[in-house]
Amino acid sequence: MSIILSDISKNFGSFAALHNINLEVPEGELVALLGPSGCGKTTLLRIIAGLEHTDQGSVIINGENKTSQNVSQRGIGFVFQHYALFRHMTVFENVAFGLRVKPRHTRPSNEIIKKKVHALLDLVQLDWLHDRYPDQLSGGQRQRIALARALAVEPSVLLLDEPFGALDASVRKDLRLWLRNLHHDLNVTSIFVTHDQEEAMEVASQVVVLNHGHIEQQGSPSEIYDNPTNAFVSRFIGQTNVFDLDEHDNEWLRNVGIINANSTGRIAHVRPHDILIEKSESHQDATATLKDWQHLGALIRLELVKNDHHASKSLFAEMPKEQFKALALKIGDVVKLKIRHAHWFH
Amino acid sequence: MNTHTIPHTSAKDTVVRQQHALQDPKWVRWSLIAIALGFITLFICLPLGLVIYQALSKGIEAYWTALTQADTLAAIRLTLLVAIVTVPLNTLFGITAAWAITRFEFKGKSFLTTLIDLPFSVSPVISGFIFVLLFGAEGWFGKLLATYDIKIIFSAPGIILATLFVTFPFVARQLIPLMQEMGHQEEEAALSLGASGWKTFYSVTLPNIKWALLYGVLLCNARAMGEFGAVSVVSGHIRGLTNTLPLNVEVNYNDYDVVGAFASASILAGLAIVTLVLKTLLEWKQASR
């Protein structure tokens, strides 16, 4: 079911959490709301759910205006960062809750509830825990139960608030992939909130970048990574080196190839993998010195210091491990840089 | 639940560690224990024993006769009536207040929180006096009440009002910290699953607060039955009509009816013991949750 948000604004006292948000989520997508803490992403999610009211604007789910409807009537599934399982109920009762509270004429029989709950627990692969209480489960298990509980009412939209935020790094990695696959199978329109760009890129089919209550950019993960529309998005998504032209020697910039026919602004953002490195024969034509390097698994990250007249920050470049070995660089060696691509901002 | 258990175990750990750090010499430990035990014996066990001793000083028959006097029975009835009316009302009030304070943001919230504690900080005699000033013959509403022949002061309604006022913080005080700590995500989850507000309260909130609620009700009941100061001001001490059990103790004692006074007192003492036992059980239940 599609979600359309039009012109949504929300203030908390004098603090404007969201201004004039317009967003369209097509049916079946898995969308990430991504942004730094305090950017309004959770508020936006809670507004879609009906847990928070808007000051202005409307929420339209599947063509129906839901702005003034209560959370209990919206037909959404909500998964909380800290799971919010009912601690006095067993796993089974937690998942059955949404079915048991239905009005009498639409409430399924006990038989059907039982069948359905076990099917959902099978789906999250935790049926063997059905008679446990939430405090007997691990964080990852709790979050999967919370998801099963939300799915029990067959929501038209699934909303997840930092679903992996409270989990260990390794569990988080597994659950990300699992959520992506689950979404693929169920195909329910889903929105999840995260502050972790890696998570957003890995899980979502669409990423919405928020900052200070505004949408900065919306697009597929590769669109956002390859064509950031502004400096904030470029810096927030992945690593980037920032070159302010006023703070550098023109000659140095020309040597490394930043300034060319495509230069259109004052500030250039360069991804670490867009910096090519050659070993330099002499100090004369060297543009940087290797200060340090770190092992990131398949990649090596090199910390470089520019050889120009301005006192300056370090640059970061990345290259595959094999290439680094072939170059046989040592700390203190001088190198030549070639920048093959930069994003320009004003 | 996780958030409950983790601080628990770590608190135990620190206690164990502190015992090593705080290992005082033996004589200090023993004399501190002796002083504490001495105080408890002198000020709690001895008086309690004396109440029972005095009540039975003229034999069990005299005790029984004192208890079954018409005035004493009337006092028991009135005390029960006061408790039956005030405890449910204050339970309702306590839940409402705790809900409002922990679930909504509004102006004057901290003022309301302070106000709930007011009956604890005001002398009970003044609490009683407020009602005399309001509803007494010379009070603000005195003339109005007199024209409709409604009696509040020197009758049961006044006693109930005074008791309500004195006992109203008990339930709210128990619930507010618990509900603050719990947060409202479970309730939000229930609502998002389609539960109505009432259903959410009944099947999610109430099971989480039930032990604290019972604890508050118990304390409220103990105070409602045992209140003296406020009730004394509004009751007028009319025998067989407006004497509650605590007032009956005083009236009998002033009449040199020692057995009668201590017989009534023994009921209150028994109530106190039952309350203590239930309180310990509830605390244990709450901690093991």
Residue A25 has pLDDT above 50, yes or no: yes
Q: What is d(CA A185, CA B148) in angstroms, rounded to the nearest whole number? A: 74
Secondary structure of residue A239 in the 3-state scheme? coil
Mean pLDDT, chain A, rounded, equals 89
Q: How confident is the model at residue B2 (pLDDT cuts 50, 70, 90)?
A: very low
Residue B9 has pLDDT above 70, yes or no: no
Interface of B with A (CB under 8 A): 1-2, 4-5, 185-186, 188-196, 199, 203-204, 207-208
Q: What is d(CA B273, CA B279) in angstroms, rounded to the nearest whole number? A: 10
The partner residue sitting opposite B194, judged by closest CB among A72, A87, A146, is A72
Mean pLDDT, range B42-68, rounded to an integer = 87
Give the residue from A90, A99, A101 with the most B CB atoms within 10 Å of its CB, the best one to mutate.
A101
* Strands across the sheet containing A30-34: A76-79, A157-161, A189-194, A30-34, A206-211, A214-219
Question: Does A295 lie at the interface with B, CB-CB under 8 angstroms?
Answer: no
Q: In Å, how far is B208's CA from the nearest CA of chain A?
A: 7
Torsion sign across C-alpha atoms A270, A271, A274, A275: positive
* pLDDT for A244: 83
Mean pLDDT, range B77-94, rounded to an integer = 94
pLDDT in tens, A140-185: 999 999 999 999 999 999 999 999 888 888 888 888 988 999 899 8
* pLDDT for B81: 94
pLDDT in tens, B227-276: 998 999 888 888 888 889 899 889 888 988 888 888 888 888 888 888 88
pLDDT in tens, A59-69: 999 888 989 88
* pLDDT for B141: 85
Which residues of chain A does B186 touch, with a Cβ-Cβ cutoff of 8 Å? 84-87
pLDDT in tens, B185-219: 999 999 999 999 899 999 999 999 988 899 899 99
* pLDDT for B92: 95
CB pairs A-B closer than 8 Å: 69
Which residues of chain B does A49 touch, with a Cβ-Cβ cutoff of 8 Å? 192
Q: Taking CB atoms and an 8 Å limit, are A135 and B203 in contact across chains?
A: no
Q: Taking CB atoms and an 8 Å limit, are B189 and A133 in contact across chains?
A: no
Q: In Å, how far is B83's CA from the nearest CA of chain A?
A: 31
The closest alpha carbon to A138, from A98, A85, A190, belongs to A85
Start-to-end CA span in chain A (Å): 39
Residue A310 or B147, more confident: B147
Residue A89 has pLDDT above 80, yes or no: yes
The closest alpha carbon to B219, from B173, B265, B269, belongs to B173
* pLDDT for A264: 76
Question: Does A113 lie at the interface with B, CB-CB under 8 angstroms?
Answer: no
DSSP A11-34: EETTEEEEEEEEEEE-TT-EEEEE
Q: What is the pTM (predicted TM-score) of this model?
A: 0.80
- Phi–psi pair at A217, nearest 5 degrees: -165, 150
Strands A241-244 and A267-270, bridge-based pairing: antiparallel
Question: Does A102 lie at the interface with B, CB-CB under 8 angstroms?
Answer: yes
Q: Taking CB atoms and an 8 Å limit, are B189 and A86 in contact across chains?
A: yes
Q: How confident is the model at residue B32 (pLDDT cuts 50, 70, 90)?
A: very high
CB atoms within 10 A of CB B1: 14
Which residues of chain B does A98 touch, with a Cβ-Cβ cutoff of 8 Å? 193-195
Max mean pLDDT range (A209-218, A233-242, A287-296, B9-18): A209-218
* pLDDT for B57: 84
| Sequence-distant (≥ 6) Cβ neighbours of residue B151 within 8 angstroms | B145, B157
* pLDDT for A157: 92
| Sequence-distant (≥ 6) Cβ neighbours of residue A264 within 8 angstroms | A344
